[in-house]
Amino acid sequence: MAHERDDATDIDFNDAELDMFGDFTEAVQRCEHPDMEKYLARCPGSEAKMRPILEMALLMDSAVTQYRRKYPHVDLRKLRELVQKQRGKEK
């Protein structure tokens, strides 16, 4: 169901996890191909919680990169707004 909150809302993160996530995602976006295992090692005991999040961050970055490769001239922000408007009209 769209727009409903779910169990993930209850997950909380400590400062070390928040910093590690920020450093990892920024390194991914700077095209530095960071080693996920090294980042996970910064937060011992948090691997089970953090690994799926970092994997999802990689998937998101990959989706954006692939889309921009396929449509280098498309503004993703405007496209998203357009698709949302079309969806609104269909409802």
Partner 1 sequence: MRDAELVAGILDGSVDFAVLWDEYWSRVYDCVRRMVGDAELARDLANCVMERANEQLARFDANKGSLWTWLHLKVRTVVIAYFRRPRLRTVSLEVLDGSREPTCEGPEQVYERAAVWRAVDGLPEPERSVLALNYHDGYSWDEVARLLGTSARTVRRLAMRGLSMLRGRL
Give residues in contact with partner 1 (CB under 8 A): 2-9, 11-13, 15, 17-18, 21-22, 25-26, 29-31, 52-53, 55-57, 59-61, 63-65, 67-77, 79-80, 82-84, 86
Least distance CB 24 / partner 1 (angstroms): 10
Q: Are 47 and 65 in contact (CB under 8 A)?
A: no
- If you count them, how many residues does the chain have? 91
- Name which of 38 and 71 has its Cβ closer to partner 1: 71
Determine whether 51 is exposed, middle or buried from the number of CB atoms within 10 Å of its CB (0-12, 13-18, 19+): middle
Q: For 45, which DSSP code?
A: T
- Name which of 41 and 56 has its Cβ closer to partner 1: 56
Secondary structure (DSSP) of 10-60: G----HHHHHHHHHHHHHHHTT----HHHHHTTSTT-HHHHHHHHHHHHHH
- Name which of 77 and 91 has its Cβ closer to partner 1: 77
- Name which of 38 and 68 has its Cβ closer to partner 1: 68
Least distance CB 37 / partner 1 (angstroms): 18
